A and B are shown apart, each in its own frame.
Chain A
Amino acid sequence: MKFFEDIQVGDVFDVGSHTFTAENIKAFATRFDPQRFHVDEAEAASSYFGALCASGWHTAVAWMRLMVDHRRGLEEAARSRGEPVASIGPALGFRGLKWLKPVYVSDTIAYKTEVVETRRSKSRPYVGLVSLRTTGVNQNGEAVVTFVSTTFVERREKA
């Protein structure tokens, strides 16, 4: 990925999409979020959600995997051109995460990530902070998840 100085507010990354299956919804939820509407079709049918739906954490974590893979592709392309590759991370956290609609079996969520803020670190002159607004949209064009995460990005100029 690019260095801090090369990143502009408004830059957009189409990071890819993930299809949620009954199998991967239940496998994730069994490990991390075993609420009845995430692990059992019959229980989910009688719940507020009406059918088996993915843990909200699963819908966020799916983005992380896609983003890491997307970034790796960009890094490999840069290396093949002989360009230096900036170090990214760790992230400081996220805010304003909203689960706007349930993600049901067979939904495919496409994630788009946009740079919404860049600022230099006061305490660490070799990095900057980049805030990203990520939104996941289902196959019907409905936003299902959105959040703003902030991460460290290496600066080209270390002074």
Chain B
Amino acid sequence: MPKLHWEDFQPGAVATYGPRLVTREEIVAFAAEFDPQPMHLDEAAASVTMLGGLGASGWHICCLLMRMIADGFVLDSSSMGAPGIDEVRWLKPLRPGTNIRIRTTVLESRPSGSRPEMGLVKFSYEVLDEAGNCLATMASTSMFGRRQSGARA
């Protein structure tokens, strides 16, 4: 039985996960495989781009966020996935050697209209560096199984 269900995500709840060191090697490896633009692969090429130096692919930041919340709480929950992502903003470059943390805030919680065994939770996520600068934000809604089905509750 997973520990966390829909009922456990109350609006206003804040949690922080990490830190997680992001290395140059993994930034370059992700980019080589999924986003081979020079600004994610090579310092000299990146220095003349608007990124102003080597920085992680924005998609890599999303994938790191996903993995950190998976380890942080999703794998220990009745997660049923997500129907999508409302918005992601890449605000500042993620540089090699940064220790990132993820701060999650529960914005909203509601039962599913069509599935009594499911509830929806809207989260905001912030990707923070050691100094507390926000590198990226994400807003999305996730689906979780309910501890007590709405039909019986």
Contacts and interface: CB of A to CB of B under 8 A. Distances in A.
A65 interface: yes
Contacts of B131: none
B84 interface: yes
Contacts of B88: 93-95, 97
Interface of A: 31-35, 37, 47-49, 55-57, 60-62, 64-65, 68-69, 87, 89-99, 124, 127, 147, 152
Nearest to B55: A90
A99 B83 contact: yes
A36 to B, nearest CB: 8
Interface in B32-75: 33-37, 39, 49-51, 55, 57-59, 62-64, 66-67, 70, 74-75
Given A91-B58, A93-B89, A94-B87, A35 B81 contact: yes
Contacts of B49: 87, 89-90
A106 to B, nearest CB: 20
Given A33-B63, A33-B70, 20 more contacts: A31-B63, A32-B63, A35-B74, A56-B81, A57-B66, A64-B59, A65-B36, A68-B35, A69-B36, A89-B39, A90-B39, A90-B49, A90-B50, A95-B88, A96-B84, A96-B86, A97-B88, A99-B81, A147-B85, A152-B50
A65 B89 contact: no
